[in-house]
Amino acid sequence: MTEYDYWKIFPRMPRKVTIGDITVRDGFQHEEKFVSTRAKMFYLEELIFAGCRNIEVTNLGNPFLMPQFGDAEELLTHLRSDKFKSRCAHKGINYDDIVLTCITIREGAVDRAIRLKDKGIAPDRVLMMVSTEEEHHFANSGTSLPDYWREAERCIKKCRDAGLKMCGTVSTIWGSPIGGATELKDAVEFTKRWLEIGAHDIEHADHDGSASAPDVYRYFSMILDEIPDTRLHIAHFHETKRVASASVLAALQAGICHFEATLGGLGGQPANFLDDSPVKGTGDYYYNDPRYVGLTCLEDMLVQVDEMGIEHGWDVDRVLWLGRQMERTIGRRLRSEAAINGRTLKEGHPRFARPGLQKVKGKLGEKTGQKLPEEWGDKAALPEQYRA
């Protein structure tokens, strides 16, 4: 007989997950208008109040390349303020449970994060990134893979001395927008290399939406076979083909319990145009239509895991409200279906019920709740040719 218990079919699948938010960093970096500092502060606060405990705040790289992040220190100052800590306490949030992350692709940004310790506004965690496909890596970092690995090793030592954690990202796991197909085994090896040189955890990234569900399941099964501590692994999916929810499910089935997402599915490459001016970013966009890129959508992912009965720690309704506000902030319809249509309610939507059903049933002599003719048997008699 078929096994119907999902968790017996996929025994590694978690009953509880952590979902981090990266809207204000990864989500906003692709926007071609400057999102106000006030709006960024609002969403950072509200996401934390809604249940987020792992949040990306900003990018500490050169703001000449990515002027969207020219307000990085203002955001960190706000989140490190006594006023914000007091608001967290008032809401019953343990401030020490919140992990603030900043992106630091190159050593100069890592050094900047360390200098912020003296100001009392440093992040808890920084992130560097390698791609298994070197052309993509060069586009992001401006240097070769061997040279970057040496730089990352230096930076991890600096961070350890300063009391900062370093996340090592592995990208182009399932393919590269520049070099095409890649090998899963290369990403497994790169994961081990990050841990070998002292990374605190690993972000496994599909930065261009190349992943397919079977290969996601295969990859994360390979990872957990060799590095079984699930606390080390974070799944990061981009959405370009409307199949990222399948990748999330496949990662869950493999045993991954830490994910990242953005409100409205925002995100993509750093913008090469901001407000009324071209900016450098990371050069030309990889896609024919840059509107159809971004990350897995926080609202939809939360509804997905919530309706699976998986514990997540978020206030889903508050996040759905935030998603609707984000559409007003950005000024266009975003990618969340759940923010518009809501959740599947077990109690249904009685306001849509047509009047008169009970009256009709009464006229027909039917009982309330009766679904079949009274003269029919209790169970269907399935014709023999259809039986198992």
| Structure confidence at residue 284 (pLDDT) | 86
pLDDT interval class at 345 (50, 70, 90): confident
Domains of the chain: 6-341 (3.20.20.70)
Report which residue type is found at 361: K
pLDDT in tens, 109-144: 999 999 999 999 999 999 999 999 999 999 989 999
80 Cβ contact list (under 8 Å, min separation 6): 120, 121
Residue 101 has pLDDT above 80, yes or no: yes
Average pLDDT over residues 79-95: 98
Average pLDDT over residues 315-342: 95
| Structure confidence at residue 346 (pLDDT) | 85
Cα–Cα distance for residue pair 205/84, rounded to 1 Å: 31
Residue 241 has pLDDT above 90, yes or no: no
pLDDT in tens, 355-387: 899 999 999 999 999 999 999 999 999 999 999
- Per mean pLDDT, which of 272-276, 292-296, 340-344 is the most reliable? 272-276
pLDDT in tens, 212-238: 999 999 999 999 999 999 999 999 999
pLDDT in tens, 281-298: 888 888 777 667 899 999
- From residue 161, give the alpha-carbon distance in Å to each of 15, 109, 114, 165, 200: 36, 16, 10, 10, 13
Note the Cα 193 to chain centre separation in Å.
24
With CA atoms as reference, report the closest residue to 19 among 299, 330, 320, 344.
299
pLDDT in tens, 17-71: 999 999 999 999 999 999 999 999 999 999 999 999 999 999 999 999 999 999 9
Question: Percentage of residues in the chain with pLDDT exceeding 90?
Answer: 88
| Structure confidence at residue 293 (pLDDT) | 83
**pTM score, whole prediction:** 0.94
